[in-house]
């Protein structure tokens, strides 16, 4: 009996032919579907769950920016929380001092402020690597929140800045928190569409080339220093947007929300979700929010004292990070890819067996 199998190159060509939509349009349609899913989830859950869903949203864009920087260009940053700090305080200051500005303008300016800081940090980072780069970015995360104590009248000191944003139109009969969740996710998905198109384009290929071998990238005509600076710029824009969305959602910008622990947690989320994968950024953001929430619930059930309860989320998150990295070195997304490959091979073996 003749066995008919499809050559791998034919299967690849067929798969490419099925993708008739341009990449940008495909990403936009996927974002619209994701936004519809978020709307449905918020409609069937309570306000507390809505808040967690919104928190996943702004952490997602922060982790995605750090994934682009660390996973795609190989630049380790321990100070990404500093860009979120800049974005949050930019929104807080604009709302308090220039209330006539619309929310979308506040968020754009928060992203721009984060990007400007990233441009400056990237210019320095282009000359650093390894532990020197990590140390410099960590110093940024430690030093920036301290400015609130130096300029208390302007930045509010240790209490931060509180404000109120009335973003919901008067004729819309939707709870305020649910509306804010929709705004957060709409902003995040628009930003993700832009980031995905960068990653899939020429600039993304340059990022990966610099990560793999800077010398070879330079010999092939890639401006290594400029590429590193661009990676820092885009990553910081994402961080600034994340901080601005956090401030918008919570109605406050306080230095206690942007400690070095936040920067370390974001980097851990990148590793946990899958280094270099934007899908991994989603899993990392979900883990960052829900592992902490479950740990807090566990502390309440066990009636732990305050010191243990405060440190339990970090301990649980660290243990889960170690277990996942040992089991799946490429993170959660890598585990899904391995499972999908196993299922595909199993299906191919079954098909070949049936043909025999």
Per-residue pLDDT reduced to its tens digit, 68-90: 998 888 888 888 899 999 999 99
pLDDT at residue 285 in the model: 92
Q: What is the rounded CA–CA span in Å between residue 89 and residue 156?
A: 10
Determine phi and psi for 253, rounding to 5 degrees.
-135, 110
pLDDT at res. 13: 47
Name the average pLDDT for the chain: 84
Percent of the chain at pLDDT above 70?
91
DSSP string for 247-315: HHHHTEE-GGGS-HHHHHHHHHHHHHH-TT-HHHHHHHHHHHHHHHHHHHHHHHHHT--HHHHHHHHHH
pLDDT tens per residue, range 118-149: 888 888 777 767 677 777 788 888 888 888 88
Contact of 183 with 167, CB cutoff 8 Å: yes
pTM for the whole thing? 0.87
Cα 136 off chain centre by: 21
Average pLDDT over residues 329-344: 80
> Would you state the pLDDT for residue 308?
67
Q: What is the mean pLDDT of residues 278-296?
A: 85
Banded model confidence at residue 171, pLDDT cuts 50, 70, 90:
confident
Hey, what are 18's tokens?
């099925």
Q: Which segments of 164-223 does DSSP mark as H helices, in order? A: 176-200, 202-212, 214-219
Closest to 258 measured CA to CA, from 64, 85, 98 = 85
| Mean pLDDT computed over 146-154 | 86
In contact, 56 and 214? CB cutoff 8 Å: no
Q: Which residues of 276-297 are buried (b: 16+ CB within 10 A; e: fewer)?
A: bbbbbbbbbbbbbbebbeebee
pLDDT recorded at residue 130: 67
Q: Is the pLDDT of residue 1 over 70?
A: no
In the predicted model, what is the mean pLDDT of residues 92-110?
A: 93
Query: For the chain, what is the radius of gyration of the CA atoms?
Result: 22
Q: Hey, how many other C-beta atoms are within 10 angstroms of the C-beta on 110?
A: 31
Q: Residue 177 corresponds to which tokens in the numbers above?
A: 């928190």
pLDDT confidence band for 39 (50 / 70 / 90): very high
Query: Quick one: which of 203, 237, 24, 284 has its CA closest to 111?
Result: 237
In the predicted structure, residue 2 carries a pLDDT above the cut 60: no
Other CB atoms within 10 A of residue 55 CB: 23
pLDDT tens digits along 206-222: 999 988 888 898 888 88
pLDDT of residue 17: 47
Three-point CA angle 331, 22, 206, nearest 5°? 50
Burial 184-220 (b: 16+ CB within 10 A, else e): bbebbbebbbebbebbeeebbebbebbbeebeebeee
Orientation of helix 202-212 relative to helix 224-250, angle to 10°: 110
Task: Show the tokens assigned to 131.
Answer: 């532990």
CA distance 102 to 107: 9
Q: Per-residue pLDDT averaged across 29-36, rounded?
A: 94
Q: Is the pLDDT of residue 6 over 90?
A: no
**Mean pLDDT, range 142-171, rounded to an integer:** 85
Instruction: Please tell me which residue, 25 or 348, carries the higher pLDDT value.
Output: 25
Q: Where is average pLDDT lowest: 64-68, 197-201, 306-310?
A: 306-310
pLDDT higher for 17 or 27? 27
User: What average pLDDT score do residues 209-238 get?
Assistant: 89
The span from the CA of 77 to the CA of 301, in Å, is 36
Cα–Cα distance measured from residue 80 to residue 62, given in angstroms and rounded to the nearest whole number: 8
Cα-based distances in Å from 59 to 6, 62, 150, 298, 332: 43, 5, 28, 23, 17
| pLDDT bucket at 195, cuts 50 / 70 / 90 | very high
Q: How many CB atoms lie within 10 A of CB 60?
A: 29
């Amino acid at each position: 009996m003749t066995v008919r199998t499809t050559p791998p190159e034919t299967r690849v060509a067929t798969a490419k032919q099925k993708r008739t939509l341009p990449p940008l349009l495909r990403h936009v349609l996927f974002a619209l579907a994701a936004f519809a899913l978020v709307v449905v989830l918020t409609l069937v859950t309570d306000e507390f769950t809505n808040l967690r869903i919104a928190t996943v949203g702004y952490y997602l864009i922060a982790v995605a920016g750090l994934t682009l920087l660390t996973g795609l260009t190989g630049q380790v940053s321990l100070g990404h929380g500093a860009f979120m700090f800049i974005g949050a305080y930019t929104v807080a200051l604009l709302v308090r001092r220039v209330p006539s500005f619309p929310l979308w303008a506040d968020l754009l300016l928060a992203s721009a402020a984060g990007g400007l800081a990233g441009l400056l940090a990237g210019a320095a980072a282009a000359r650093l690597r390894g532990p020197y780069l990590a140390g410099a970015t960590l110093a940024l995360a430690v030093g920036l929140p301290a400015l609130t104590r130096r300029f208390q009248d302007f930045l509010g000191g240790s209490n931060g800045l509180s404000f109120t944003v009335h973003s919901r139109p008067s004729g819309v009969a939707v709870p305020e928190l649910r509306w804010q969740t929709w705004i957060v996710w709409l902003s995040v998905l628009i930003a993700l569409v832009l980031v995905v198109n960068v990653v899939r384009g020429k600039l993304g290929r340059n990022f990966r080339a610099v990560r793999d071998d800077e010398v070879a990238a330079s010999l092939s005509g890639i401006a290594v220093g400029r590429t590193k600076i661009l990676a820092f710029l885009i990553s910081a824009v994402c961080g600034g947007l994340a901080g601005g969305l956090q401030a918008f959602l919570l109605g406050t910008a306080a230095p206690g929300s942007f400690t070095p622990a936040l920067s370390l947690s974001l980097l851990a989320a990148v590793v946990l979700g899958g280094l270099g994968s934007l899908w991994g950024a989603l899993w990392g953001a979900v883990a960052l929010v829900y592992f902490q929430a479950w740990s807090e619930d566990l502390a309440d059930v066990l009636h732990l004292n305050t010191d243990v309860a405060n440190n339990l989320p970090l301990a649980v998150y660290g243990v889960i990070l170690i277990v996942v990295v040992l089991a799946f070195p490429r993170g959660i997304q890598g585990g899904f890819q391995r499972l999908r490959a196993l299922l595909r091979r199993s299906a191919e073996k079954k098909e070949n067996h049936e043909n025999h």
